[in-house]
Amino acid sequence: MNDPAPTLQQLHPLGILASRPLTLILAIALPLYAAVMTWFGWADVSSPFLAITAVVAIAGSCLSLLAWSGPQFAPFPRRGAIVAVAFALAALGIEASAGWTQNQFIRDDWAGPAIGLVLIALAPYRPPAELVVLGAAATGWAALVAVVESPWFVTDVPVPVFVVVLCAPILAMTLGAAAFARSLIRGLEKWRERATAAVSALDTTRTDWIARSVQQGHITTLNQRVVPFFAEVLLSDEVTTETSARARAIADEFRSAMVEEVDRGWLDGVVAQAARGASATSQLAPDVVDDTWRLSRSLGIDARTAIRALLVALFGHPDFVPNSLRITVSPDGTRCRVVLAATVDCSENRLRSELAPYFAVMRILFPDQSVAFAAPALRLKFSYER
């Protein structure tokens, strides 16, 4: 998440993953639309080569969109948006060149609406302000093209009307896309605020309930050896060699138990909980998590949520083999590297389709995430800043 302004993809990765088919359909439909419009306007074409090149350019724009919107490349980078729009702007210029001196009606030109649709397709992936900047640049370029082309249009209207005809679709779709993204982003942020307030309101109740449960656990432990020992010492009111030896032995035992508890990292707890949820506790290997430095504790809350969701989904997968799970967290300079290895006895297509939403969420939080699957071995790697 290098960009300061949030995007829908970052705030609502699952929703955006679900709407990716929209990007796919647009990516297929746009070159088709361009090709059909070119075919019907063939009489206005002075350079067939350039006319076809313009269609190829818009196809290039769509390919860029398609490539960078894939969950494996999330979050969609700024350079991806610039490349996609640059291809579309090139298509506009080339289309105008292809109809040099012969293009009679600007309203039949397909490149203007195509640029607008490219900007709509970018709405889920880039910040609204960036969409507006790209749209403004595209509108400026379209205005220039319209002015240059205007001498050979047959319609008897002033030049600004041609500019309006070419620019209006771009501007309308740009602002529409930006307004759509902005509204959803605001909705998400408001939801977060409300959720935070709700959590704060519940916190005292929740804290009390958990505190009592934790305290009860400790009292049970104390009652086993510590309390009887202290009671005995207080009653006798004297310290003997045997008293000191017992105190030392109990202290060692107590400290060992506490050290063990302290050493149990966050990841151990999540794996244990996910396994319990899938009734697979007994099938877990003893050394599932290797997090010697307890580095998993330095994960942010969203990152921890994403990992927890992935593990729950993994344990819920019918072909997952619980005792194959190994997670290693190791330091690497200022970063921590995590490797998750597991056996999932199914085809790659099935694995990717069923776990795709979780990988997508992870990818937003860990942009360097890589998922390798050579059936049945799944290997997921990612890193994060400490």
Partner 1 sequence: MDADFRVATRFIPEYALPLGLPNHLAPVSISRAYSRAARAIALVSLSSGLVATVAIQVDAPQRMVWPAGLALVIFFAAVLVFSSHRTAASAAAYLLIGGACMYWYAITGAFELGPTGRTDSFLLALPKIALIMVGAGSAPGSVALWAVAGFLVGEGATALAATQAGVPLALDGTTLIVLTVSFLLVGIITVNRRAATRAQSTVNRAARDEQLAEVRVRIEAKAAAVMHDTVLGHLAALAAAPEGRLAPEVRAQVSRDLQVLLGEEWLLSAAERDTGEAGSQWRTTALFGAIADARDLGLDVEVSGDVSVLDSVGAEKATAIALAAKQCLVNVLRHSGQESAEVVVYGSEREVSVMVVDGGRGFSEAETGADRLGLRQSVRRRIEVVGGDVQVWSTPGRGTSVMIRVPVDVSGAGAAAAPATGSRHPGASLAP
**Footprint on residues 320-339 left by partner 1 (CB under 8 A):** 331
Cα 56 from chain centroid? 30
From candidates 227, 285, 372, 377, binder to partner 1 by CB under 8 A: 227
From candidates 304, 337, 379, 381, binder to partner 1 by CB under 8 A: 304
172 touches partner 1 (CB under 8 A):
yes
Q: What is the 3-state secondary structure (H, E, C) of 66-85?
A: HHHCCHHHCCCCHHHHHHHH
Is the Cβ–Cβ distance between 311 and 276 less than 8 Å? no
Is the Cβ–Cβ distance between 78 and 130 less than 8 Å? yes
Three-state DSSP class for residue 105: coil
d(CA 33, CA 51): 13
211 touches partner 1 (CB under 8 A):
yes
From candidates 67, 136, 272, 312, binder to partner 1 by CB under 8 A: 312
- Stretch near partner 1 under the rule CB under 8 A, chosen from 58-66, 80-88, 93-101, 245-253: 245-253
DSSP string, 125-180: TS-HHHHHHHHHHHHHHHHHHHHHHGGG--S-S-HHHHHHHHHHHHHHHHHHHHHH
d(CA 366, CA 75): 9
10 Å CB burial of residue 133 (0-12, 13-18, 19+) is middle
d(CA 83, CA 66): 12
165 touches partner 1 (CB under 8 A):
yes
Is the Cβ–Cβ distance between 87 and 103 less than 8 Å? no
- Stretch near partner 1 under the rule CB under 8 A, chosen from 58-66, 90-98, 142-150, 194-202: 194-202
**Looking at beta carbons only, is 148 or 227 nearer to partner 1?**
227
From candidates 136, 247, 272, 375, binder to partner 1 by CB under 8 A: 247
349 touches partner 1 (CB under 8 A):
no
d(CA 150, CA 101): 9
**Looking at beta carbons only, is 50 or 61 nearer to partner 1?**
61
From candidates 43, 151, 220, 234, binder to partner 1 by CB under 8 A: 234
Interacting positions 262-301 with partner 1 (CB under 8 A): 262, 266, 269-270, 273, 293-295, 297-298, 300-301
370: left (phi over 0), alpha (psi -120 to 50) or beta: beta
* Closest to 126 in 3D by CA, of 44, 171, 184, 61: 184
**Looking at beta carbons only, is 50 or 267 nearer to partner 1?**
267
Size of the site for partner 1 (CB under 8 A): 110
Q: How far is the CB of 77 from partner 1 (least distance, A)?
A: 20
**Looking at beta carbons only, is 53 or 273 nearer to partner 1?**
273
Q: How far is the CB of 79 from partner 1 (least distance, A)?
A: 25
350 touches partner 1 (CB under 8 A):
no
**Looking at beta carbons only, is 79 or 190 nearer to partner 1?**
190
178 touches partner 1 (CB under 8 A):
yes
